[in-house]
Amino acid sequence: MSFLSEIQRRRTFGIISHPDAGKTTLTEKLLLFGGAIQEAGAVKSNKIKKGATSDFMEIERQRGISVATSVLAFEYNGIKINILDTPGHKDFAEDTFRTLTAVDSVIVVIDVAKGVEEQTEKLVEVCRMRNIPMLVFINKLDREGKDAFDLLDEVEQKLGLTVCPLSFPIGMGYDFKGIYNLWEKNVNIFTGDPKKDIEDTVEINDLNSPELEKLVGEKHANDLRDNIELVNGIYPEFNKEDYLKGIQQPVFFGSALNNFGVRELLDCFVEIAPKPRPKQSEERLVKPEEKDFSGFVFKIHANMDPNHRNRLAFVKIVSGEFHRNNPYLHVRNGKKMKFSSPNAFFAEKKEIVDVSYPGDIVGLQDSGNFKIGDTLTEGEILNYKGIPSFSPEHFRYINNADPMKSKQLYKGIDQLMDEGVAQLFTLELNGRKVIGTVGALQYEVIQYRLEHEYGAKCTYENLNVHKACWVDPEDTKSEEFKDFKRVKQRFLAKDKSGQLVFLADSMFTLQMTEQKYPNIKFHYTSEFD
Ligand code: G4P
């Protein structure tokens, strides 16, 4: 197959949802359709179960699972599908944000009873800001839930989307009869049998046909006719261009657990979802079709076995072909590197590959050379944008608890930060180190990993910080900026790349500081124009 056809047939996407909405179940059903797994239950959920916070073995076990499910690839009707895992747990939200820089589109899963939940809001906002094409799947229709129109309203209002229903439910919960597919113009009858692989789909080109009564009964038939009329009246017609631009979002209804409505979603997805998209680097826009290889690291996973400290760096291929054993330029450190055993990912395993294409993810063995955001090319200087750090929510001083092991401690901290486990801030005043995280769980992960992988011990000390703000003065030589640095000296730190950060102890302090220094901007993310 030619290079161009390989690109054309790739779809790389992520499934995002609030925990428990059904992401794992949906992933599994998609893999079943692709024939990539044989039975349900094969995909392990990587979610952090409640109460796991203090159970280190549990954390380790789950880290193991999450490497296995980081990328799941399968073929469906000649299309190569790569699903990138996005942890739903809020403590790992940054992982998910970074993964979203490597997807070309997303599927958003929403629980019909719970509606739009907090994590979904945050993740969709990131996708919206980047104009990532989104499909919405409203799940668990076999349960009693919210009215379909109310839900569509909620999706529009809370998520700021412009929805376009491509399927619509007939009844719900105990009375769930099936869905009408506006995309294919047929009715799919719900039998509640998840093993059924041939669906009871009946073509209904004319909703006024008496056939509908026979299928779902008079009440449901009439309701459906009214509902579809409303849908056609209220919502815009599906427009593929708008979907691809990220300004219109098709919606499907179904029940992942019952494997119902999933095929419709998948069939539509492979038809409309974008092939690998061009990506903006600091230098220029890079197109997948370009001959020269380029890619960037969006995730680093440490080996769980302390005897083999190697890590796996996940590289998304943006352009050209990636070949095993070819020398590639590591742009940040200016060195050429060869990879003798790059991994490609399949449903449940990874294998060494000779060549990979744009849209694919390769896993590269790494002994500490990579950081999240690093770029590899054939020689050109390119730096891919869009992997910012966000202000952490939690802050603690980290102290060395074993003076004999300070080298190990600093190496460990350094590598864990490169992996993106947390953020390190060094105080300007006294050089003390502060670890900032999205969730409290990471402190335990860090402590455990420092001890087991690096042989170092640490303790934490509380620190009262509300938010870390990246400081952006209009003029670094101004009296105002000098005054700010003098007055706020105790609260200033450098992040890992040397950018100046203000650790504000409260919202009030931040507001007062903003008022007092109007020519200094304070940002909640490390990347700003
Ligand atoms: P997540 O990855 O988004 O966190 O969700 P996951 O797929 O693990 O699903 C969360 C729970 O919701 C699971 O039940 C799953 O079986 C259930 N579920 C998923 N899709 C549907 C659906 O269409 N209908 C119904 N009724 N339930 C659904 P659990 O009891 O938490 O886990 P398990 O013990 O069944 O695995």
Closest C-alpha residue for ligand 1 atom 26: 140
Lowest mean pLDDT among 267-281, 298-312, 414-428: 298-312
Residue 6 has, within 13 A of its CA and on its CB side, a CA count of: 17
Of 105, 63, 100, nearest in space to 448 by CA? 63
Q: How many CB atoms lie within 10 A of CB 8?
A: 15
The pLDDT of residue 324 is: 95
Specify the ligand 1 atom closest to the Cα of 255. 23
Closest C-alpha residue for ligand 1 atom 15: 22
The pLDDT of residue 49 is: 47
Q: What is the DSSP string of 433-447?
A: EEEEESSTHHHHHHH
Return the structure tokens found at 462: 């509380």
With the most atoms of ligand 1 within 8 angstroms of its CB, the residue from 25, 45, 46 to mutate is 25
Confirm whether the ipTM is greater than 0.95: yes
* Fold agreement (3-174+237-272, 279-377): yes
Q: How many CB atoms lie within 10 A of CB 38?
A: 9
Specify the ligand 1 atom closest to the Cα of 258. 23
Average pLDDT, the chain: 87
The pLDDT of residue 309 is: 65
Lowest mean pLDDT among 225-229, 302-306, 394-398, 481-485: 302-306
Sort strands 394-400 and 458-462 into parallel, antiparallel or unpaired: antiparallel
Bigger pLDDT: 295 vs 90:
295
Bigger pLDDT: 182 vs 347:
182
- H helices of 145-245, in order, are 148-159, 211-216, 218-234, 240-245
Q: In whole angstroms, give the CA distance from residue 242 to residue 274.
A: 12
The pLDDT of residue 208 is: 84
User: pLDDT category, 466, cuts 50, 70, 90?
Assistant: very high
CA 201 to chain centre: 33
CATH of domain 279-377: 3.40.50.300
The pLDDT of residue 195 is: 61
Bigger pLDDT: 69 vs 181:
181
Q: In whole angstroms, give the CA distance from residue 196 to residue 203.
A: 19
User: What is the 3 state secondary structure string of 85-131?
Assistant: CCCCCHHHHHHHHHHCCCCCEEEEEEECCCECCHHHHHHHHHHHHCC
Domain at 394-523, CATH homologous superfamily: Peptide chain release factor 3, domain III (3.30.70.3280)
Closest C-alpha residue for ligand 1 atom 14: 20
Q: In whole angstroms, give the CA distance from residue 482 to residue 276.
A: 47
225 pLDDT higher than 50: yes
Per-residue pLDDT of 341-397, as tens digits, reads 998 887 667 788 999 999 999 999 888 899 888 999 999 999 987 667 778 889 999
| 21 assigned to a ligand binding site | yes
Q: In whole angstroms, give the CA distance from residue 75 to residue 331.
A: 33
Give the bridge partners for 323, in sequence order.
Answer: 355
How far does the centroid of ligand 1 lie from the alpha carbon of residue 386, in Å?
33
* SS3 assignment, position 200: strand
Closest C-alpha residue for ligand 1 atom 17: 22
Residue 395 backbone class (left: φ over 0; alpha: ψ -120 to 50; beta: rest): beta
Q: In whole angstroms, give the CA distance from residue 102 to residue 83.
A: 11
Closest C-alpha residue for ligand 1 atom 30: 20
Closest C-alpha residue for ligand 1 atom 10: 20
Q: Check: CATH 3.30.450.20 for 3-174+237-272?
A: no
Q: Compute the C-alpha angle 393/394/400, nearest 5°.
A: 150
How far does the centroid of ligand 1 lie from the alpha carbon of residue 19, in Å?
9
User: pLDDT category, 183, cuts 50, 70, 90?
Assistant: confident
Contact predicate 152/165, CB 8 Å: yes
How far does the centroid of ligand 1 lie from the alpha carbon of residue 111, in Å?
10
| 142 assigned to a ligand binding site | yes
Per-residue pLDDT of 300-349, as tens digits, reads 887 655 566 678 899 999 999 999 999 999 999 999 999 999 988 876 67
How far does the centroid of ligand 1 lie from the alpha carbon of residue 114, in Å?
13
Domain boundaries, the chain: 3-174+237-272, 279-377, 394-523
> What's the rounded mean pLDDT across residues 503-519?
95
Q: In whole angstroms, give the CA distance from residue 196 to residue 477.
A: 71
Q: Compute the C-alpha angle 89/93/96, nearest 5°.
A: 105
> What's the rounded mean pLDDT across residues 192-213?
71
| 91 assigned to a ligand binding site | no
Q: What is the DSSP string of 393-405?
A: SEEEEEEES-GGG
The pLDDT of residue 434 is: 97
The pLDDT of residue 228 is: 93
Specify the ligand 1 atom closest to the Cα of 260. 23
The pLDDT of residue 286 is: 97
Percent of the chain with pLDDT over 70: 89
Q: In whole angstroms, give the CA distance from residue 314 to residue 57.
A: 24
Closest C-alpha residue for ligand 1 atom 31: 20
Q: Quote the pTM value.
A: 0.85
| 115 assigned to a ligand binding site | no
Specify the ligand 1 atom closest to the Cα of 17. 3
The pLDDT of residue 207 is: 82
Per-residue pLDDT of 37-96, as tens digits, reads 655 555 555 444 444 444 555 555 555 555 556 788 889 999 999 999 887 777 777 788
* SS3 assignment, position 63: helix
The pLDDT of residue 58 is: 59
The pLDDT of residue 96 is: 84
User: What is the 3 state secondary structure string of 466-504?
Assistant: CEEEEEEECCCCCHHHHHHHHHCHHHEEECCCCCEEEEE
| 278 assigned to a ligand binding site | no
| 19 assigned to a ligand binding site | yes
Q: Which residues, judged by CB distance below 6 Å to any ligand atom, belong to the binding site of ligand 1?
A: 17, 19-25, 45, 47, 88, 139-140, 142-143, 255-258
Q: What is the DSSP letter of 324?
A: T
Dihedral sign for Cα atoms in the order 165, 170, 176, 178: negative
Residues contacting residue 150 through CB under 8 Å, at least 6 positions apart: none
* AA identity, residue 10: R
* AA identity, residue 512: M
With the most atoms of ligand 1 within 8 angstroms of its CB, the residue from 257, 259, 262, 265 to mutate is 257
Of 221, 236, 227, 22, nearest in space to 112 by CA? 22
| 87 assigned to a ligand binding site | yes
Specify the ligand 1 atom closest to the Cα of 27. 7
Return the structure tokens found at 127: 């996708």
The pLDDT of residue 54 is: 43
Q: In whole angstroms, give the CA distance from residue 86 to residue 96.
A: 5
Percent of the chain with pLDDT over 90: 60
269 pLDDT higher than 80: yes
The pLDDT of residue 50 is: 44
Q: How far is CA 529 from CA 296, 388, 405, in A?
A: 21, 12, 41
Bigger pLDDT: 184 vs 501:
501
Contact predicate 480/423, CB 8 Å: no
Give the bridge partners for 352, in sequence order.
Answer: 343
Bigger pLDDT: 94 vs 485:
485
Q: In whole angstroms, give the CA distance from residue 435 to residue 446.
A: 10
* Residues across the chain: 529
> What's the rounded mean pLDDT across residues 208-236?
91
Of 151, 83, 88, 91, nearest in space to 123 by CA? 88
The pLDDT of residue 78 is: 92
Q: How many CB atoms lie within 10 A of CB 18?
A: 24
What's the count of helices (H) and strands (E) in the chain, helices before strands? 14, 31
